[in-house]
Amino acid sequence: MVTLLLDATRLEVVLSPIERGLARRSEPVRVERDRIRKVQLTDDAWTWLRGVPDPGTYIRGTIAMGTWRSAGAADFVVVRRRRPAVVIDLDGDPDFARLVLTTRHGLALVQALRLEGEGDATEVTEIVAAADAPPTPKPTPARPPRRTPRPAPVSPAPA
């Protein structure tokens, strides 16, 4: 799974060994924090893909990893199945115009980008806003009473 590291100056996308092979990339993707223009959450990352993998791996509906080149831009993509994703639009980055990453921690990333950086790199999963209270459990809806089936009426046997 992709690991997102964020500090005061940059966002770093660290890939596992398998992801590096599929993305055909040996180094992590590093983006200066001031280049991030917009961050969006999406339930369907596949609609955000544009262009063709060059270099990268694409298995329809299953996996898309690597650099995707289109007419005027290059995007870095790590998309798996139908999982939630984050789309990061970049402005003035020399390598990529956009990052599309499936991650369970998209909301934490959005919150972290709004916070002032402290200097040390922090994994996005460890970021918790101080003002956030633990979520309250949702009440369980009352179930309607179960109906027990009635026995079928017995008709008298023919004489």
List pLDDT tens digits, range 77-131.
999 888 888 999 998 888 899 999 988 888 888 888 775 544 455 555 544 333 3
The answer as to whether 159 is a domain residue is no
The answer as to whether 137 is a domain residue is no
The answer as to whether 39 is a domain residue is yes
The answer as to whether 150 is a domain residue is no
Query: What is the token pair recorded at 59?
Result: 């298995």
SS3 41: strand
The answer as to whether 132 is a domain residue is no
Averaged over 141-154, what is the pLDDT? 71
Of 19-23, 33-37, 116-120, the one with minimum mean pLDDT is: 116-120
The answer as to whether 152 is a domain residue is no
pLDDT of residue 130: 37
Q: What number of other Cβ atoms are within 10 A of residue 83's Cβ? A: 13
Of 16-20, 58-62, 70-74, 120-124, the one with minimum mean pLDDT is: 120-124
The answer as to whether 38 is a domain residue is yes
Number of domains in the chain: 1
Question: What is the pairing mode between strands 10-14 and 3-6?
Answer: antiparallel
The answer as to whether 143 is a domain residue is no
Domain span at residue 115 reads 3-126
Name the percent of the chain lying above pLDDT 90: 8
- Picking from 91, 88, 112, the residue whose alpha carbon sits closest to that of residue 99 is 88
pLDDT of residue 76: 92
Dihedral pair phi/psi, residue 105, rounded to 5°: -110, 30
Residue 65 carries which DSSP code?
Answer: E
